[in-house]
Structure 1
Amino acid sequence: MVDDRYGRKSIAISAQLPPVAKWHGVFEDATIADAVLDRLVNNAHRIELKGPSLRPHSSQNKGGDGTTE
């Protein structure tokens, strides 16, 4: 998908991953990681948000995914 859209269409990604420099560890295959990250990071407009989460913290929300048990 990334290769098909590269240079022709926009891709918006939102993630709770560490900084881009550490994204290689997310992929199992280093070659795939290099190819995807090259296409995503090259010519990208990155916005890294800092600060506390605006999600309410509750003992009922143990998974952090918005669901309650």
Structure 2
Amino acid sequence: MLIIDELSYLKMDKEKESIFFQVIRQRYEKSSLIIITNLPLSRWDEVFTGQLAATAILDRLVYHCHILSITGDSFRVKGEKYLEGNRKDTKEDK
């Protein structure tokens, strides 16, 4: 299994896009792949060099996939708020 986290963090140039496409193509229908991104599929052309590249990659990714869309606050943000609340409660208890 290959896990790619934060795919949309940096825009790809032609070389990186080509390498990424080759990885996807070689794993297509053979191996498990998880991609994590904050960017909706409709905006993937912002990560790649254009709509054509994004479409070619997405075509292979979404064919036999499960898309999980998570909405709401980040788990990191929720965790920090939870920790802050516990710190205040602890201080007030003293």
User: What range is the shorter-chain TM-score in?
Assistant: 0.5 to 0.7
Higher RCO (Cα < 8 Å, 6 or more apart): 2
Moved over 4 A (4+): none
Alignment of structure 1 residues 1-69 onto 2, 5 Å = 1-17=23-39, 19-55=40-76, 56=80
Give the % identical residues.
Answer: 36
SS in 2 for 1:23: helix
Q: Deviations over 1:35-57 (max 9, x none)?
A: 11111112210101011122227
3-state DSSP of counterpart to 1:12: strand
Show structure 2 runs of 5+ residues with no match. 1-22, 82-94
Structure 1: state its 5+ residue gaps: 58-69
TM-score relative to the length of structure 2: 0.52
Give the number of the structure whose residues are more often helix, by fraction: 2
Give CA deviations for 1:4-62 in whole Å, capped at 9, x if unaligned: 00011111111122x112212221143322211111112210101011122227xxxxx
How many pairs align? Answer: 56
